[in-house]
Amino acid sequence: MKPDTPQRYAPFTRFLHWGMAACYAFMFAGALAWHLNGSLKFLIAPHKAVGVLLLLLAAVRFIWALRNLRRRPAGSLKVKLGHLALYALMFAVPASGMARQFHGAFGNAHGALAFVFFLLIAGHIAMTVLHQRRGEAILQRML
């Protein structure tokens, strides 16, 4: 499998990034939908299934990122800490959802963690747009 390079993320990295992004969009949209309209609670079952899928993909993505750590595009400490926070929430949000399913205490944090994750993702997107507007071609690394 082709590895990441300092100039561009590998096809597998991009597949994981954009595939998981689509899944997260479904997760956030579905949760918002059933909270606004109780008749859409049927979305909870696929939400749970996609949550388990995302937890598994997060594990694959984390291992892949570790294997490519030295080859990835360079980033400042702020960038690295932001990505570390995103990775942490990729695990914490589905884990708390599973804990909620089994009535674990950590499950009470699921909604709050998901909201923080949503805000971090929004910040991630905003920073990408900001850097692109400044002429830094960082989005091309992930396309």
In angstroms, the CA 3 to CA 138 distance is 18
| Nearest CA-CA partner of 5 in 80, 74, 79, 72 | 72
The model's pLDDT over 53-95, given as tens digits with 9 standing for 90+, comes to 999 999 999 999 999 999 988 888 999 999 999 999 999 999 9
The tokens of 130 are what? 């900001």
Say what the pTM is: 0.93
